[in-house]
A and B are shown apart, each in its own frame.
Chain A
Amino acid sequence: MTFGRVVAAAALLAVATACGSGTTTAGGGGGGKVGIDHPRADSDFWNSYIKYVPQMAGELKVDLMPATNSQNDVAKLVNNVQALTGQGAKVIVMAPQDTGAIANTLQQLENKKIPVVTVDTRPDKGKVYMVVRADNRAYGTKACEFLGEKLGGKGKVVQLQGALSSINGRDRSEAFLECMKTKFPGITVFSEPTEWEGSKAASMLQTRLEQNPDVKGIYMHAGGVHLAPTLQVLKQKGLLVPPEDPKHVFVISNDGIPQEFEAIRKGDIDATVSQPADLYARYALFYAKAAADGKTFKPGPTDHDSTIIQLPNGLEDQLPAPLVTKENVDDQALWGNQVK
C-alpha cells in the first residue's frame, strides 16, 4: 500500500511543489533568497513551527521563498531542494527526518556553494552550515531524572517511544534508558515502540497496566500523539487522580504544546519538556541569513542561552529546552502559551 501511495503521491508532487504553501516573501534583507522545506504537516509541533516561520522571517527581514513540504519523505525532500535551488535559493533550510539518506543532496549543495541549515535533526554525513536543534538526549535524561526522583528510585515506569527509525526517537529512548540504568537501577523500565502512533500507544499502555498494575511513571516521547490516549487509558483504569493521591501515576511528556500545559494545570500530567518551536524557527532563519551574508561562527556559548558545538560535518547550536512543571507552566515566555 505504501508503495502505491508513494507512486500516486509522487504524481501530485509537481503540483504540490509548484504551489508551495504560499506564505510570505518578506522583502528587504540582502544576501539572497532563502529556500525552506518543512518536514511534515501532520504533527502539532511541526505545525507550530511552520506558523512561526513567516513571522520570524518578517522580524529578521529574511527574503524567504514560498515553503515546500516533504511530508516525512526523504525522496520528496530531495526533489523539493532541487526545485528550490532551481528557483534561485542561495541558502536552504531543511529538517531531514531521515538523517542518512540526505547525504548526497548535502554534497550536491556543497558543490554549488549553497549553505544548509538543518532544523531538529543532525545529518550523519554531508556538510552543514549549522544544525539548529535542542539536545534530544537531554529530553530523555530530564524525563528520567524527574521520574526517578518522584518515584524515589524504585518501582516501574513505561516509556512510550517514538519511531525508532528517527534519530530523535532513538536519542530520547537511549538517553532515558542509560540514565535509568546508571542513576536509578531500582526502577524497571518497559519500552513500548509506538511509532509516534496514538492507537498503538493506547493499546500498549493498556496491556502493560493490566500486566503491571503497579506502574507508577510514564514517559511520553511526544505529547502531540501520546497525551490524549494516555489520559484516556489512565481514566479508564481509575488512575487519573491528583498527585497527592497514592494511586497517582507520574507522567512526563515531550513537546510543550498548549494541551500539555492544560493537563499540567489540571494535575493530569506532571511535567513536559518544551521543545522550542519558536526558537527553532527563529534561529533557523537567523543562521540562514547569516550564511547568506557570509558570516561564520565558532564553537562556544552564544548570546541566547545556548552552546554551539563542533560536529565532524559542521556546527550545531544546541538550544535550551526547559522543563515545565506546575511551578512554571504559566510562564508567558514558553511558546506553548503564545500559540492560539
Chain B
Amino acid sequence: MTTLTAPAPRVRLARFRDLTLVPVIVLLLVVGAILDPTFLTAGNLTNVLQQQSAISLLVLAEAMILIAGKFDLSLESTVGTAPAIAVMLVVPAAAGGFGIGLPGALVIPLALLIGAAIGAFNGFLIIRFQLSAFIVTLAMLIIVHGFLQGPTEGKTLFELPDSILYLGSAIWLGLPAAIWIAGALFAAGIFGLGYLRLGRSLYAIGGNIDAARAAGIRVDRILYGAFILGGTLAALAGILETGRLGAIGNNQGVGWIFMVFAAAVIGGVSMDGGKGTILGALTGVLVIGLVQNILTLIGVSGFWQPVIYGSIILIALMISRIAGGKAQD
C-alpha cells in the first residue's frame, strides 16, 4: 500500500477535474429546494433520474465516440427506429406490423441487433471508406429516421408486445429498472474507460490516431467497436423510452442529439477527441435533467422556457470552464 503514495496526488487532481459540474449540481439542488418544496423529495428526484435514464445512455455512447475522436449524430434516430422495426417484426399486420410474426420474446434482442447493425454501417462508412463522420452520421440521421417513417407510414405504434414495455416501466427494489440499468452501464463505462486497456486506448486514438496506431493499438477494430456499442446503447435507450411512453411515435428521439452534445460538453468531454470522462458526462446529464425538472415545477411559461433553458446550459458551460480551468474546445 505504501508504494501507492507517490502517484496519489495526480489521481486526485484528475478526479477533481471530472467533477467541475458538481458545484452546479449543488447550486441547482439548493435553488430547486428554495423554489419548490416538492423538488428535494425522494419521489421527485427518482422521477428526474427515470426521465433522464434513456437520454443518459445516448450521452454515454456519444461520450465514448467523442473521446475516440469521432462523431455520431445518427444515435437519436436509432432511438425510435430500432425498437419500432423490432416491434413491427413481431406484431401482426393489424397492429401495424410486417405480418412476419416472430416470437414476442425476440423483440429486445432484435432491437439491440438493429442498433448494432446501424452502428456497424456507420463504422464501415467512416473507417473503411474514410468519410467524414459528421456528414456520414448526419445523412444516417435522416436515413435511419426515414426507416421509422417509411414502414410505419407515419403512424404511432400503439400495440406493443409486453416484453418491450417491461424494462422501461418495471420497478426493481423500489427504483425504476431504467435507473438501475443506466447506473450499471455508467459504472461499467467509468471503469472501462478509466482502467481497462481497451477503454484507455479510446483516449489514445482520440488524442493522436497515428501515434496510437504506431503504438500497436488496433485502431480500426476499436473504432468499429465504439460505433457498434454506441448504436446498441441507442437501441437500448429506445427500449427504455418505449417502456416509459407506452407507444412508439414517429418523432421518438428526434431532436435529442442536441441535448446529448450539450450534456457531454458541459460534462467536460471534448468535441476534438481524447479528453473527458464518462463520470463528467454523467454530471452533464444530471444538470440537464435537474434544470428541466425545476422549470416544470415552477411552471415557467412555455413561450419563455427555451430562452431560460438555453441560458442555463450556457451558464453551466461557463462554470465548468472556470472550475475546470482549461480552455474548452
Contacts and interface: CB of A to CB of B under 8 A. Distances in A.
A is bound by B: yes
Interface of A: 1-2, 4-5, 8-9, 12, 40-44, 46-47, 161, 164, 190-193, 196-199, 202-204, 206-208, 210-211, 224-225, 227-229, 231-232, 235-236, 259
A228 B156 contact: yes
Contacts of A236: 169
A47 B154 contact: yes
7 contacts: A1-B258, A41-B153, A190-B299, A198-B249, A206-B47, A207-B51, A224-B156
Contact of A46 (B154, B158, B241, B292): B154
B303 interface: yes
Interface string B34-68: 00101001011001001100000000000000000
Nearest to A206: B47
B329 to A, nearest CB: 19
Interface in B112-167: 138-139, 141-142, 149, 153-156, 158
Interface string B243-271: 01111011110010110000000000000
Contacts of B156: 44, 224-225, 228, 259
B73 interface: yes
B305 interface: yes
B142 A9 contact: yes
A238 B47 CA distance: 15
Given A1-B73, A192-B296, A202 B244 contact: yes
B149 A191 contact: no
Nearest to A41: B154
Contacts of B73: 1
A211 B302 contact: no
A228 B138 contact: no
The 8 closest A-B pairs by CB, nearest first: A193-B302, A228-B247, A232-B246, A42-B250, A228-B246, A211-B38, A203-B51, A41-B154
A235 B245 CA distance: 11
Nearest to B79: A199
B328 interface: no
Contact of A211 (B158, B258, B297, B305): B297
B158 A47 contact: no
Contacts of B250: 42-43
Given A191-B301, A210-B44, A228-B246, 8 more contacts: A5-B141, A42-B251, A43-B250, A164-B302, A197-B255, A210-B41, A211-B36, A228-B247
Given A1-B258, A202-B245, A41 B43 contact: no
Contacts of A227: 247
Nearest to A189: B299
Contacts of A199: 241, 244-245, 252
Given A41-B149, A42-B154, A193-B305, A5 B299 contact: no
Interface of B: 36, 38, 41, 43-44, 47, 50-51, 73, 138-139, 141-142, 149, 153-156, 158, 169, 241, 244-247, 249-252, 255, 257-258, 292-293, 296-297, 299, 301-303, 305
Most chain B C-beta atoms within 10 Å of own C-beta, residue among A2, A46, A207:
A207
Nearest to B303: A164
A4 B299 CA distance: 32
A233 to B, nearest CB: 9
Nearest to A40: B154
Contacts of B302: 161, 164, 191-193
A160 B93 CA distance: 31
B245 A198 contact: yes
A1 to B, nearest CB: 5
Nearest to A259: B158
Given A41-B154, A190-B299, A225 B51 contact: no
A79 to B, nearest CB: 17
A193 B257 CA distance: 20
A197 B241 CA distance: 13
A12 B154 CA distance: 19
Of B142, B155, B169, B302, most A-chain CB atoms within 10 Å: B302
A229 B246 contact: yes
A216 B66 CA distance: 46
A262 to B, nearest CB: 8
A67 B156 CA distance: 22
Contact of B158 (A190, A197, A228): A228
Contacts of B241: 199
Given A42-B149, A206-B51, A8 B139 contact: yes
Nearest to A4: B138
Contacts of A46: 154
Contact of A204 (B38, B251, B296): B296
A8 B138 contact: yes
B272 to A, nearest CB: 18
B234 to A, nearest CB: 15
A312 to B, nearest CB: 25
B252 A198 contact: yes
Nearest to B45: A210
A236 B50 CA distance: 12
A220 B101 CA distance: 33
A68 B251 CA distance: 20
Contacts of A206: 47, 50-51
A40 B297 CA distance: 32
A232 B245 contact: yes
A229 B249 CA distance: 10
Given A192-B296, A193-B302, A236-B169, A211 B245 contact: no
A203 B36 CA distance: 17
A41 B292 CA distance: 29
A236 B118 CA distance: 33
